[in-house]
Amino acid sequence: MHEGRSSVGPASAGPITLEGAAPESDRKPLRVVFDYQTFVEQRRGGISRYISMVAPLLADHSCLPRIVAPLHVNLHVEGVPASMRIGIALPRFRGAMRVAAKASSAASLLLIRAVRPDVVHESYYAVRSPAPKAARRVLTVHNMIRELFPENIRPNDDTRVRKAAAVNRADLILCVSENTRSDLIRFFPHAESRAQVTHLGVDRPDADGSSPRQHGRPYLLYVGHRAGYNNFGGLFDAYAGSLMLRDGFDLIAAGGGPFGPAEQERIAASGLEAHVHHVVPSDEELQRLNAGAAVFVYPSLNESFGIPPLEAMASGCPVVSVNTSSIPEVCGDAAELAPDGFVEALRAAIEKVALLLERTEALRATGMSASRSFRGMPAARTASLDWEGSWCDMSRLAIACGIFPTGRAGLGRKAPADVANVTRNDHAGPLTEIEKECAA
């Protein structure tokens, strides 16, 4: 199984091998709290789904997990056993997220202290930590998109400021891929000793568990947001510019919002209105889309992990992607990787898979095989920490944090002007350029 590094945590706490650890049954249960942030920012999907599936699994590893979201708008957390969550779901109304955020911010500190956690896993990025002083702080970094592509950030988006604060104070930082860890260290070099890789993974059944979606013609499938580095425009131009592809296949874009006016004009100008479709699938419908697609195309120019292509591989769908960022780490030889995301390279890669039956069948087999290595529980990690006298074998905390799909959230909040002063702690080195820019 894909594992992280053999020692983790604060530099002051040395690694202790499992041979020297107390037996699992003799250890004090570890009280782990997940805070409210993502549950007031997301109704479904992404990070909230990741945490809602991780928390119950921690109970199988000598932990007492609790999600503390006093008021929230999230659908996934309602599926968590009642004993593992504190909070009430608000009905859907205009301003519900704002109300939930304000109420949870005020109430969560007292509720978290009442739980007396050993570890607080911050579910997103906040200027100030909700963790009591005695608790250790864990943070999962899902991507560094805003740092890598600052030109795509809205003027009022303060996520980078909040992320800098959260990274600086975290005792342990879980990164979803080696690529994300490298990006993190690039912008926060002083975080290197606290950063560990815990890959994500799939919780989907194999291809034989989903009936393929029925469609009039064979189709190419794209999933997710389409703007900017996601490079849907490159995929569309590759498809529209190939007579063999447009004559033999439709193009289906799943999720990411309906086609905007500019996209509609582009599709109409190419005369492809009858063959380019947008759908909003449920989880079950997405499985059927993956199972029925001739080729799954993921042309992203930067990816922190790559859940969509991994899910497609698990469904037995051949994948075409780009040889960049984390994609080689996740897909390896089980996908056809274009050398870059330009139109010509994408078109050649798609045609090679879509039109050559031998290549299609080879990728179906290798993709399903490769995806299985990202399923289930990773092998127990070899490092543990003695945190405040409570054994913290990282297989009890980090083991479950890397096996389910995730994404990003995005409700920004105004940070105090003196954020650079109030968020520094013993982990933080000199201010990096990104932190100076954010705090300015």
Instruction: List the CATH number of the domain containing 383.
Output: 3.40.50
240 neighbors 271 (Cβ within 8 angstroms): no
pLDDT at 299 over 90: yes
Mean pLDDT along residues 314-328: 95
325 neighbors 290 (Cβ within 8 angstroms): no
Tokens at residue 328, please?
Answer: 């080689």
For residue 283, name the pLDDT band (cuts at 50, 70, 90): confident
Mean pLDDT along residues 357-379: 82
Q: Write the CATH number for 283.
A: 3.40.50.2000
Spatial neighbors of 57 by CB under 8 A, at least 6 apart, are: 400, 403
Q: Looking at the structure, do residues 270 and 384 belong to the same domain, yes or no? A: no
**Position 5 in a domain:** no
Residue for token digits 């933080």?
Answer: 428
pLDDT at 223 over 90: yes
pLDDT at 141 over 70: yes
Query: In the prediction, which pLDDT does 20 show?
Result: 39
pLDDT at 387 over 60: no
Q: What letter would DSSP give residue 324?
A: S
321 neighbors 300 (Cβ within 8 angstroms): yes
Tokens at residue 347, please?
Answer: 């078109």
CB atoms within 10 A of CB 307: 23
| Residue type for position 8 | V
pLDDT at 397 over 70: no
**Position 11 in a domain:** no
Burial environment of residue 74 by CB neighbours within 10 A (0 to 12, 13 to 18, 19 or more): buried
pLDDT at 303 over 60: yes
Tell which wins on pLDDT, 192 or 9.
192
Percent of the chain with pLDDT over 70: 77
Q: Looking at the structure, do residues 70 and 190 belong to the same domain, yes or no? A: yes
From CA 120, how far away is CA 263, in angstroms rounded? Answer: 43
Tokens at residue 208, please?
Answer: 């034989």
Tokens at residue 126, please?
Answer: 């906040």
Query: In the prediction, which pLDDT does 203 show?
Result: 66
Query: In the prediction, which pLDDT does 259 show?
Result: 97
Comparing CA positions, the residue from 281, 309, 311, 305 lying closest to residue 206 is 311
Is the pTM higher than 0.85? The answer reads: no
Q: Which of 165-169, 195-199, 213-217 has the highest mean pLDDT?
A: 165-169
Q: Looking at the structure, do residues 160 and 124 belong to the same domain, yes or no? A: yes
pLDDT at 421 over 70: no
From CA 136, how far away is CA 389, in angstroms rounded? Answer: 12
Query: In the prediction, which pLDDT does 427 show?
Result: 55
Which of residues 359, 374, 389 is at a domain's end? 374
For residue 213, name the pLDDT band (cuts at 50, 70, 90): confident
Average pLDDT over the chain reads 80
Query: In the prediction, which pLDDT does 9 show?
Result: 28
pLDDT at 248 over 80: yes
**Position 398 in a domain:** yes
Instruction: Count Cα atoms within 13 angstroms, Cβ side, for 178.
Output: 9
Tell which wins on pLDDT, 435 or 304.
304
Query: In the prediction, which pLDDT does 11 show?
Result: 28
Mean pLDDT along residues 352-364: 96
Spatial neighbors of 299 by CB under 8 A, at least 6 apart, are: 222, 230, 231, 232, 234, 235, 238, 321, 322, 338, 341, 346
pLDDT at 434 over 70: no
Query: In the prediction, which pLDDT does 94 show?
Result: 93
Q: Looking at the structure, do residues 211 and 189 belong to the same domain, yes or no? A: no
Q: Looking at the structure, do residues 343 and 362 belong to the same domain, yes or no? A: yes
Q: Which of 150-154, 184-188, 305-309 has the highest mean pLDDT?
A: 184-188
Q: Looking at the structure, do residues 242 and 138 belong to the same domain, yes or no? A: no
Query: In the prediction, which pLDDT does 401 show?
Result: 40
Q: Looking at the structure, do residues 62 and 114 belong to the same domain, yes or no? A: yes
Query: In the prediction, which pLDDT does 49 show?
Result: 83
From CA 284, how far away is CA 267, in angstroms rounded? Answer: 28
Domain encompassing residue 348? 207-374
- Reduced to 3 states (helix: H, G, I; strand: E, B; else coil), residue 193 is helix
For residue 209, name the pLDDT band (cuts at 50, 70, 90): low
Q: Looking at the structure, do residues 365 and 381 belong to the same domain, yes or no? A: no
Tell which wins on pLDDT, 222 or 423.
222
For residue 380, name the pLDDT band (cuts at 50, 70, 90): very low
Query: In the prediction, which pLDDT does 205 show?
Result: 53
pLDDT at 431 over 90: no
pLDDT at 31 over 80: yes
Tell which wins on pLDDT, 212 or 204.
212
Which of residues 374, 395, 412 is at a domain's end? 374
Query: In the prediction, which pLDDT does 204 show?
Result: 57
For residue 103, name the pLDDT band (cuts at 50, 70, 90): very high
Mean pLDDT along residues 173-198: 94
From CA 396, how far away is CA 29, in angstroms rounded? Answer: 10
- Supply the Cα-derived Rg of the chain in whole angstroms: 22
Query: In the prediction, which pLDDT does 359 show?
Result: 97
Q: Looking at the structure, do residues 396 and 369 belong to the same domain, yes or no? A: no
pLDDT at 63 over 60: yes
Q: Looking at the structure, do residues 182 and 235 belong to the same domain, yes or no? A: no
DSSP string, 44-75: SSHHHHHHHHHHHHHGGGTEEEEEEEEEE--S
